[in-house]
């Protein structure tokens, strides 16, 4: 019995190592992760909020859609350097169809400065373009 458990443990560790290696190589997440936070208020009730981080890779878009079925809202994170991608559009449409409140986060502003040497004006124009793209999806 002890030998079987050791083999299972070794198999699990091996699988986790492979997932970690592939994630590092592809620079993307291969599995969703859950984080739950308790927010205390001085007056009134405290609230518990759970965040489910879904993989951004298109092959795992089904995890994103499935996680929305467990949600009360969604946070759409757009990488400013990549802009609005197809999976972002699909996730936003799914959230809107479910009547979820949506929060937009524009991420990776530092990439525009470091990798592309963009000026503040160019960054502003890119942010406005992203908002226009998302508004077009909503309209």
pTM of the model: 0.67
For residue 12, being part of any structural domain is answered with no
> Quick check: is 117 in a domain?
yes
Number of domains in the chain: 1
Residue 77 is part of a domain; what is its CATH number? Answer: 3.40.50.300
pLDDT of the chain, 139 residues: tens digit per residue = 444 444 544 555 555 555 555 555 655 555 677 778 888 877 888 877 777 777 666 666 777 777 777 778 888 888 888 889 888 888 888 888 888 888 888 888 888 888 899 999 999 999 999 999 988 888 7
Residue 30 in domain? no
- Domain for residue 10, yes or no? no
Is 75 among the domain residues? yes
Whether 90 maps to a domain, the answer reads yes
Q: Map 4-48 to HEC letters.
A: HHHHHHHHHHHHHHHHHHHHHHHCCCCCCEEEEEEECCCCCCCEE
Residue 61 within any structural domain of the chain: yes
Domain residue limits at 80: 51-138
The answer to whether residue 43 sits within a structural domain is no
């Amino acid at each position: 019995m002890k030998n079987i458990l050791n083999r299972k443990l070794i198999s699990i560790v091996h699988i986790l190592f492979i997932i970690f290696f592939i994630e590092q190589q592809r620079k993307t997440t291969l599995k969703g992760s859950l984080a739950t936070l308790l927010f205390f208020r001085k007056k009134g009730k405290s609230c518990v909020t759970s965040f489910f981080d879904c993989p951004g890779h298109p092959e795992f878009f089904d995890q994103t859609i499935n996680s929305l079925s467990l949600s009360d809202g969604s946070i759409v994170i757009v990488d400013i350097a990549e802009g609005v991608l197809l999976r972002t559009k699909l996730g936003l449409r799914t959230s809107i169809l479910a009547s979820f409140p949506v929060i937009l986060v524009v991420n990776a502003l530092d990439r525009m400065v470091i990798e592309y040497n963009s000026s503040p004006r160019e960054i502003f124009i890119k942010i406005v373009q992203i908002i226009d793209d998302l508004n077009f999806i909503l309209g």
